[in-house]
Structure 1
């Protein structure tokens, strides 16, 4: 159990590293795009596979998120990662940052998808 807690804390720190690296101008635009998608997905209350689905529901938390983090970290220059790791430790001590713009964007996207799905289902049955 202790290993899982250590792994989870390391994962959380890596998310903050990605969050900070996204803001760095030394990171290429395509890396920023991928990184913001990974961070937004992690902070999003909506999962690709809902958690209430037995076993499969937690696959995104255990497999997809760590893979996304790993790929994003490989794309970021090492000097940026080193600087962001120091800042991430400070953030973890002071509490999570809140980004209402990204949160609102995620809610808007899911609302559009839901609305579109409802319209398509309605059209299908009429």
Structure 2
């Protein structure tokens, strides 16, 4: 499997630009999920198959045309969050403490210190741990 053909839909500049412009509007769930996936790309623990899934999800996040345009209040990021959630579940084994630490540090830069204690962040961490448990059972 060749990840490079999927990489063309994702760019680091596009990712950071999307997060900087839309962090508050997208909300902590979308931003934290995207950051977890982004930092998992750099992890040696992330296999090629998982990287392909990550590129797809992050590419969709930065795609200018969505199924639900991001400018729609409340629902604009639902499709993005779904894509990110599926990818997180699929690559949960690659999300370790180092990936979480990097994602939380950057999330704090975007949304402030209080965001780390929000229910959204706790829910996502719980979802990742749950998926890791399922993966161990398989």
Give TM-score scaled by structure 1 length: 0.53
In structure 2, the partner of 1:82 is 97
Is the counterpart of residue 21 in structure 1 residue 43 in structure 2? no
Q: 1:51 aligns with which of 63, 69, 74?
A: 69
RMSD: 3.2
Post-superposition offset of 1:94: 3.3
CA distance in 1, matches of 2:97, 2:87: 14
Paired residue secondary structure (1:48): coil
In the alignment, is the contact (CA less than 8 A) between 2:46 and 2:94 conserved in 1? no
Any gaps of 5 or more consecutive residues in structure 1? 96-126
Any gaps of 5 or more consecutive residues in structure 2? 1-23, 111-138
Which deviations, in whole Å up to 9, do the C-alpha atoms of 1:54-90 show, x marking residues without a partner?
x7xx86631x322221221112244634321211111
Matches within 5 A, 1:1-126: 8-44=27-63, 46-49=64-67, 51=69, 61-62=77-78, 64-78=79-93, 80-95=95-110
Post-superposition offset of 1:40: 2.0
Of structures 1 and 2, the larger Rg is shown by 1
Counterparts in 2 of 1:49 and 1:76: CA distance versus 1, 3 Å: closer
Give TM-score scaled by structure 2 length: 0.49
Paired residue secondary structure (2:95): helix
